[in-house]
Amino acid sequence: MKLTAPVARKSIRLHKDPPNPPAEIYNLHVEDVTGNNIPLAQAKGKNLLLVNTASDCGYTAQYASLEELRARYPHQLLIIGFPSNEFKEQEKADDESILQFCRVNYGVQFPLSKKSNVLKGDGQHPVYRWLTSKGLNGWNDKAPEWNFSKYLLDEKGRLLAYFGPQVDPLSKEICQLIEQ
């Protein structure tokens, strides 16, 4: 039997007037699945959507929505996926296999990080430490509840919202924030 996330209402945490974060996310970087360094400073002036992903999850089809969102807002948005095996071991593949799976099955062109720990604790990726620490981002301490949880930052690097996995990337809630 394949386990999926419990059925629940959409989980959204939104800060209508986000504070300037005590620590800048633009000082961080991400190593992608091919070993290239992605400085988050390249997202200055754009919205940034950070999503923990998995290839064997009930929400895996959201890769297609994420790619469509990327294509819809090519100059306004940078999406980075963070493959993670922390939720019921639904991302067992190695980095190269993850990249091939995403490209072949969903046409993914947005960057994917090396497989990462996104939950709080030892080994948590620095980007996710920033996203889940009120002392770093200014207001949020919510960790991902499951695969395909999403964090949206504005063009100034301020955390705008957390969206649980039930919220499709093409939802009006996400698109309206990108367009504002």
CA pair distance 90, 87, nearest whole angstrom:
6
Mean pLDDT computed over every residue of the chain: 95
Amino acid 6: pLDDT: 47
Residue 41: Cβ within 10 Å count = 13
Average pLDDT rounded to a whole number, residues 132-145: 98
Amino acid 4: pLDDT: 44
Band (124; pLDDT cuts 50, 70, 90) = very high
pLDDT in tens, 27-52: 999 999 999 999 999 999 999 999 99
Average pLDDT rounded to a whole number, residues 140-154: 98
Examine the pLDDT at 2 and tell me if it is beyond 50.
no
- The catalytic position among 5, 57, 152, 174 is 57
CA pair distance 98, 95, nearest whole angstrom:
5
pLDDT in tens, 50-73: 999 999 999 999 999 999 999 999
Structure tokens belonging to residue 39: 């400085």
Nearest to 85 by CA among 112, 60, 129, 117: 117
Structure tokens belonging to residue 33: 């699945």
Amino acid 104: pLDDT: 98
Average pLDDT rounded to a whole number, residues 106-133: 98
The predicted model scores a pTM of 0.94
Whole-number Cα distances in Å, 138 to 38, 135, 151 = 23, 6, 14
Examine the pLDDT at 161 and tell me if it is beyond 60.
yes
Nearest to 127 by CA among 23, 36, 55: 23
Average pLDDT rounded to a whole number, residues 147-152: 99
Least-confidence region, from 4-8, 78-82, 168-172:
4-8
Could you confirm whether 57 is annotated as catalytic? yes
Amino acid 10: pLDDT: 86
Domains of the chain: 15-179 (3.40.30.10)
